[in-house]
Structure 1
């Protein structure tokens, strides 16, 4: 997966959905470090 962190000042949008209903629960933003941490741990990590 290629994510372009340069387009939105170093962050990308990240949508969290309910895995059963597909309903959107939140929209947050991840920088590259938060994305890597999310992939490594399996827990969503957001930039603030």
Structure 2
């Protein structure tokens, strides 16, 4: 698995070092504020 992705990972690392900043997606939760009600599997 990892062997085929090393070139992509290396490219990302080199890009991050060149720009001197980490490249991370901004993940903001947009779901409901309060937890949803739990529904047992048998009732789904």
User: Which category of TM-score, normalised to the shorter sequence, fits these structures?
Assistant: 0.3 to 0.5
Looking at both structures, which has the greater relative contact order when contacts are Cα pairs under 8 Å and sequence separation is at least 6?
Answer: 1
TM-score, normalised by the number of residues in structure 2: 0.33
Q: Which structure would you say has the larger Rg?
A: 2
TM-score where L is the length of structure 1: 0.31
- Larger strand proportion of the pair: 1
